[in-house]
Structure 1
Amino acid sequence: MGKETSPNDKQGTGNADVPVSEGEISDQYSVYTRKEKWIIVGLVALAGFYSPLPANIYFPAIPQLSSAFGVTIEAMNQTVTVYLIFQGISPMLWGPLSDRYGRRLVFLACLSILVASSIGLALCPTNSFWLLLFLRCFQSGGSASTIALGAGVIGDIATTKERGGYFGMFNLGPMLAPCIAPAAGGAIAQALGWRAIFWLVVIMVAVCLVFIAMFLPETLRAIAGNGSVPVPRHLRPIIPVVGRKYTSPTASVNDAPPRKKQSINPFVLFTYPDVLVLLSFTGIVYAVNYTVTATISSSFKEIYPHLSETVLGLCYLPTGAGMIIGSTLTGKLLDWQYAQCKAKSGDRFTIEYARLRIMPIYLVIFVAGVLGWGWSLQAHAHMAVPLIIGVVLGWTSMGILNTTMTLNIDILQSRSSGATACTNLVRCSLAAILVSCIDRMTNAMTIGWTYTFWAAICALLLPLMYLEIRMGPRWREKRERREMQ
């Protein structure tokens, strides 16, 4: 399979894209202790929670908003469409900027935009539907990039052998919001009105913004090295709770290693065949799973009409439970697989095989879950059946997403935020397309055959994983040789 060129096994702190600088301590990849790394991962996971939250907490309030603004439900759904569009586009700007100028400042900028736009939405006059659409674009632009930024931070501080566990726990934040937010949004809208939803977002994000400003250190390796290099004052946390014994606030910034300038054009990543394979696989699976999640309330309301709005919101929780299981187990499994493959394969070890060797199991179970979801609803089965299937879909979708995104960071470490932004663009674009046409498909084909069709599409993705395992190391090594030249 070719020799492994995993970034973290070279020179202690080096990686495939960023060489070790003379001013950087080269005997360890990161100066942060395991406890300190978990603190950092917890901070970025908290920020990542607010990426999907504004979209999903908003869903139950759409009927109220439609009535308040005097427009149809179809017109109000345009606010969902524009949100998805900017959710896919905005990380393509913020992610590469963070790879060039640092994580901390971009985090603060994105969360500030999210707070300001949410305040505007809470105060939006009901005779200005255009303003609602406009502010939703900014809300999406501020929230969507926190996942890409968090992935970049994990790439900065975690070695390949431990990255799976950290990334699995980080993904809990972004993946839990779509399951918890609808229940919270429905209850708040019913009790306090739609404006209260946006005020809640303002308060929650403002708290997160304070935590990031107070405690999150700059982790970009081109600026901070392995965490031991002094950074400019504006890049330091107000209260440095991690890495304090390795850095001095009075140290000279001139001691920092020269920054390696990264291209801020993430679209070049689409020309890499190994990355393109991963993006295609991840995007299609995510879009199918997102469609299932997005249509839970509407499907259940039609098939089980006795359910109240609160109960419909609670129906998202089993999927969330599955995501927690999938995120936790997959992270530990990825780290275990890496260690096992590294010990057994020797010179024939490749990161692609270590990450993807159990992917066929995840995919087969996911395909079975999609089939079961469609036909259980088609047969009007007891509500417990699709809810149990939702747990399976949440578990396997998280397993697939964590695995492919971890591998993407492994092979594009110095551009990890840009790589995650590309993933976000593909999966959000495909999800927007699929959500927009799912009702027409179910009306024309029935819900059972619609999900049979999408299960078959997902099954056809399996050869892509074997292609990645076989050809990925060759494509990666060829690219790395070209970049070194």
Structure 2
Amino acid sequence: MAVTGDKQEPPPVDEGVLRPQPTSEGEVEVPYSIYTSKEKWLIVAMVALAGFYSPLPANIYFPAIPTIARAFHKSNDAINQTVTIYLVFQGISPMLWGPISDRYGRRLVYLVCLSILVASSIGMALCPTDRFWLLLFLRCFQSGGSASTIALGAGVIGDISTSRERGGYFGMFNLGPMLAPCIAPAMGGALSQGLGWRSIFWCIVIMVAACLLCIALFLPETLRSIAGNGSIPVPRRLRAIVPLVGCKATQEAFDPESRTKPKHSVNPFVLFTYPDVIVLLSFTGIVYAVNYTITATISSAFAKNYPHLSETVLGLCYLPVGAGMIIGSTMTGKMLDWEYARIKANADDKFTIEYARLRIMPFYLILFVICVVAWGWTIQAKAHMAVPLILGVFLGWTSMGILNSTMTLNIDILQSRSSGATACTNLVRCSLGAILISVIDRMVNAWGDGWTYTFWGGICALLLPLMFLEIKMGPKWRMKREAAEKEQT
């Protein structure tokens, strides 16, 4: 019997009008989703845009910290409390919103979260400089509104796609949340220097309001317990104002039975008891934390070692990492889909989703470790700045390759709880990122950049056995869990 991550594997979907595909017995098989491939890409593009605003408020804020400290008559360390509290709520809030969206729908939670982000950003733009406590308070809500868009987007992708196509969609989706840390610092520095620190928050308001309008107008409800494969009419409050997608499906593609049985909101912390999920979370969290630490310290590392650079040029130094992330997302997404189809076609009944997703992981991980170590020694040696910039491209590429693979597999094995699964991922990686950011300066001061990043590169190298453990034991753990869940229903 084949071991896969999906209960149902529909045939490929026509690019034009979606039509049911006949099975070998001549029966008509209803598609997993009524949306055509182009419509799915449009949906993924919308949720990727929303995902861009998850890390944006954190990273666009960094260049303005000294200016805000002077405005509020506080030290930089005091203003850094707003960064810490943001990371805390960034990790916690998806644990609330993710399960709610798995129960009550994606669209409504999107609208609520983005509205909170807009309102809190307006408050921060208008915050009096003698009310530092209010800045901290609003920062909590800003984080709570923005952080959950990643978990929601993962839920949408799990709703509309099967394992054979999910890698490409997840690759595109990850571009949003991964590009923001590279683009936002340059934006924040330019806005703060040219228009003042309040302009940063007004910029967030304008950008998020445009995204909120796009979601309200065009995003359909995709939760399968409500909309099924997209064919089931949903309550008016959950409908897109302008039904841009789903209009080309034929009547035969509609299937009320595709609606899954609604479940009570599952406590996402239960996922931490699943050994295969713990392995994936460890992998994702450590790689993300190391990569995020390098990204967050690019400007300070370059300013220290290349003091002739202006603030504008320092902001531009983030772009090579962003370019690498674009390459990584595009290549890895297509490669994951290609590997899935190839391995499944050749494996017969021995196919496992874990092997299909993680087979190319050793290449990415080894190259990532080499780049991390090389980054540290390059910075310490004050090599020509072209060298760390080139390394930044490879760091962005390999980190996205690793994260796309592990997060796609996480959705594969927990498809019915995709938002909760991504919320757990977010909690782990934000927590590890916050810890690493808090200690990296002390490590660099004590050990130097070279040995510091050699240490973290070695930690990442130790993840390789975990990957082989997941490939070998993951299917057994998953089948045992699914059998236990089936007995309970």
TM-score range, shorter chain: over 0.9
* Letter aligned with residue 203 of structure 2: L
Matched, 1:412 2:414: yes
Q: Which residue of structure 2 aligns with residue 3 of structure 1? A: 2
In the alignment, structure 1 residue 177 sits paired with structure 2 residue 180: yes
Aligned-residue offset at 1:255: 9.4
Report the counterpart of residue 273 of structure 1 in structure 2.
275
The alignment yields a C-alpha RMSD, in angstroms, of: 1.8
- Uncovered stretches (5+) of structure 1, i.e. residues with no partner: 14-24
Taking structure 1 as the reference length, the TM-score comes to: 0.94
Equivalent position of 1:354 in the other structure: 356
Write the deviation string for residues 386-428 of structure 1: whole angstroms up to 9, x where unpaired. Answer: 1110111000000000000000000000100000000000000
Q: Give the equivalent residue in structure 2 for 1:460.
A: 462
Out of 75, 95, 102, the residue aligned to residue 92 of structure 1 is: 95
Tell me the SS of whatever aligns to 1:196: helix
For residues 256 and 348 of structure 1, the distance between their equivalents in structure 2, rounded to whole angstroms, comes to 28
Relative to structure 1, is the Cα distance of residues 308 and 454 closer, same or farther in structure 2, using a 3 angstrom cutoff? Answer: same
**8 Å Cα contact 1:223-1:256 kept in structure 2:** no
**Quick check: 209-218 or 260-269, which moved more?**
260-269
Q: Does 1:81 align with 2:80?
A: no
Deviation at 1:245, TM superposition (A): 4.5
Q: Which residue of 2 aligns with 1:190?
A: 193
2:246 corresponding residue in structure 1: 243
Residues 458 and 71 of structure 1, relative CA distance in 2, 3 Å threshold: same
2:468 matched to 1:469? no
Summarize the alignment of residues 328-339 of structure 1 with structure 2, pairs less than 5 Å apart.
328-339=330-341
CA distance in 2, matches of 1:365, 1:86: 32
Q: Give the Cα–Cα distance (whole angstroms) in 1 for the partners of residues 484 and 362 of structure 2.
A: 32
Greater Cα shift, 370-379 or 237-246: 237-246
After superposition, residues 67-146 of structure 1 pair within 5 angstroms as: 67-146=70-149
Deviation at 1:111, TM superposition (A): 0.1
What whole-Å deviation, never above 9, does each CA across 1:115-152 have from its counterpart, x for those lacking one?
00000000000011111111111100000000110010
2:345 is aligned to 343
Offset from partner CA, 1:434-461 (integer Å, 9 cap, x none) = 0000000111111110000000000011
What is the TM-score normalised by the length of structure 2?
0.94
Question: Aligned pair 1:149/2:148, yes or no?
Answer: no
Q: Give the AA of the match of 2:212.
A: L
Does residue 482 of structure 2 align to residue 480 of structure 1? yes
Partner of 2:21: none
The C-alpha deviation readout for 1:66-102, integer Å capped at 9, x for no partner, is 1000000111111111111110000000011101110
Deviation digits for residues 258-279 of structure 1 (CA, Å, limit 9, x no counterpart): 7421433100000000000000
Give the corresponding residue for 1:226. 229
2:361·2:402 contact (CA, 8 Å) conserved in 1?
yes
**Runs ≥4 in structure 1, deviation > 3 angstroms?**
8-13, 245-248, 254-259
- Displacement after TM superposition at 1:7 (Å): 1.1
CA contact (8 A) 1:8 1:159 kept: no
Q: How much has 1:171 moved relative to structure 2?
A: 0.7
Paired residue type of 2:111: L
Alpha-carbon distance in structure 2 between the residues aligned to 1:35 and 1:201 = 29
CA distance in 2, matches of 1:42, 1:380: 40
Deviation at 1:246, TM superposition (A): 4.6
Instruction: Report Cα offsets for 1:446-484 as digits up to 9, x if no partner.
Output: 111000000000001100000000000000000000000
More deviation in 32-41 or 257-266?
A: 257-266
Q: Secondary structure at the match of 2:54?
A: coil
Which amino acid in structure 2 is aligned with residue 477 of structure 1?
A: M
Specify the SS of the correspondent of 2:74. Answer: coil
2:31 maps to which residue?
28
Count of aligned residue pairs for this structure pair: 470
